[in-house]
Amino acid sequence: MNRGINTRCLHLEETEGKTENYGSLSFPIYQTATYAHPGVGESTGYDYSRLQNPTRDHLERIVAGLEHGKEAFALSSGMAAITLLFELFHPGDHIISEADLYGGSIRLFDHVSKKNGLEFTFLNCATDDIEGAILPNTKAVYIETPTNPMMNVSDIGKISGICKKHGLLLIVDNTFLSPYFQNPLLLGADVVIHSGTKFLGGHNDTLAGFIVTDRDEIVEKLRFLIKTTGAGLAPFDSWLLLRGIKTLGLRMERAQKNAIELSSWLKKQAVVTDVFYPGLPEHPGYEISKKQARGFGSMITFNVDTKEHALQILKEVKMIKFAESLGGTETLITYPTTQTHADVSEEVRLRNGITPCTLRLSTGIEDVEDLIAELSEVFARLD
């Protein structure tokens, strides 16, 4: 596996030199629920699409290659992936989790996992003492880095060291940087999660989620769970993901370039009070990012001076869309307080640094001059 990542977005070595599927360059969409068997006790390798589907398999092998994992599992959304993964735990298990997470993950942990008997300690994994929070029943550490939305960066290798010492699983939601910029498994993580809806799909047109691991016993359990619970990604959506991934590198580089320019521009605006982007040298996670990732990504969180200004910006943007989600070709601006993090209590939001003045920007691949022109106009019109 020493081919470059852009090549690995397009080609799967194991299928090369074969002329099946009429030599079709685009992988076929096997839109089938079931498969005919040659005889009793015989199988083509495919029995029923809840268990296996060739289009989904192809996608899973591409994503496993991108993350340097043994296996990847493609699920119907990022939340379906996290939900499936948490079936690995049992009532009474304790999880140490990053506090500043995607709001849907906090909602899952607070309202579903706790009901199922799991216990959580939420920490700022970039600064708090993780080792000190380990209990006899702790089973895993769950992090995002950079975090959604406050862009805190934690040291994956360092946390992996703590996890290995205490026999804990390290799970990293790698959605924000994608495998193009960061590979947590190579830094010692055991499991990587993706919302494939974001950078991997990349076109704001479909939902998907991934679990990638290099641990055999986890692969086996997940295979059983996906067959049993049934949230595998549909064939057409798998194809959309394959198509999106072909341009992952081009999109990531372009969106990051826009984010670097936009973050320095934002810093100079009178209405903007704070800019959280790990590519700014003054960001506390800048050095760690340079050490563990190949880029800083294209997510920028910033605060403006008043809540009224935040609301007015969201109302007045036109080309930049006021919408949830991120990581697509189009630039989106999000209001964590009422969107992604609406179900997180105000107390927790404020503790994490999400205020009514906080906005989150996912830069797309437009011309950055046009993004700056639109924001300049909107800022100039603020009351």
Least separation in angstroms between CB 4 and ligand PLP? 26
> Interface with ligand PLP includes 113 (CB under 6 A)?
no
Identified binder of ligand PLP from the candidate list 209, 235, 278, 328, rule CB under 6 A:
209
> Interface with ligand PLP includes 77 (CB under 6 A)?
yes
Tell me how far apart the alpha carbons of residues 232 and 49 are, in angstroms, rounded to a whole number: 8
Least separation in angstroms between CB 341 and ligand PLP? 11
Least separation in angstroms between CB 148 and ligand PLP? 4
**Number of residues engaging ligand PLP in binding (CB under 6 A):** 15
> Interface with ligand PLP includes 155 (CB under 6 A)?
no
β-strand 332-334 against 358-362: which pairing, if any?
antiparallel
Q: Which stretch binds ligand PLP (CB under 6 A): 72-80, 119-127, 315-323, 345-353?
A: 72-80
Tell me how far apart the alpha carbons of residues 252 and 248 are, in angstroms, rounded to a whole number: 6
Residue that has been written with the tokens 């959580």 in this structure:
120
Q: Which stretch binds ligand PLP (CB under 6 A): 190-198, 216-224, 277-285, 371-379?
A: 190-198
Q: Which stretch binds ligand PLP (CB under 6 A): 19-27, 30-38, 194-202, 263-271?
A: 194-202
Distance of CA 90 to CAs 118, 131, 142, Å? 7, 22, 16
Q: Which of residues 120-149 bind ligand PLP (CB under 6 A)?
A: 144, 148
> Interface with ligand PLP includes 360 (CB under 6 A)?
no
Least separation in angstroms between CB 344 and ligand PLP? 13
Phi, psi of 344 (to 5 degrees): -95, 135
Tell me how far apart the alpha carbons of residues 103 and 146 are, in angstroms, rounded to a whole number: 14
Tell me how far apart the alpha carbons of residues 52 and 35 are, in angstroms, rounded to a whole number: 10
> Interface with ligand PLP includes 104 (CB under 6 A)?
yes
> Interface with ligand PLP includes 100 (CB under 6 A)?
no
Residue that has been written with the tokens 């379906």 in this structure:
80
Buried b (16+ CB within 10 A) or exposed e, 343-362: ebeeebbeebbbbbbbbbbb
> Interface with ligand PLP includes 175 (CB under 6 A)?
yes
Tell me how far apart the alpha carbons of residues 51 and 226 are, in angstroms, rounded to a whole number: 7
Residue pair 52/230 in contact (Cβ under 8 Å)? The answer is no
Tell me how far apart the alpha carbons of residues 131 and 224 are, in angstroms, rounded to a whole number: 32
> Interface with ligand PLP includes 79 (CB under 6 A)?
yes
Active-site annotation, residues:
50, 102, 173, 198
> Interface with ligand PLP includes 78 (CB under 6 A)?
yes
Q: Please report, as ranges, the residues that interact with ligand PLP according to CB under 6 A.
A: 77-79, 102, 104-105, 144, 148, 173, 175, 195, 197-198, 207, 209
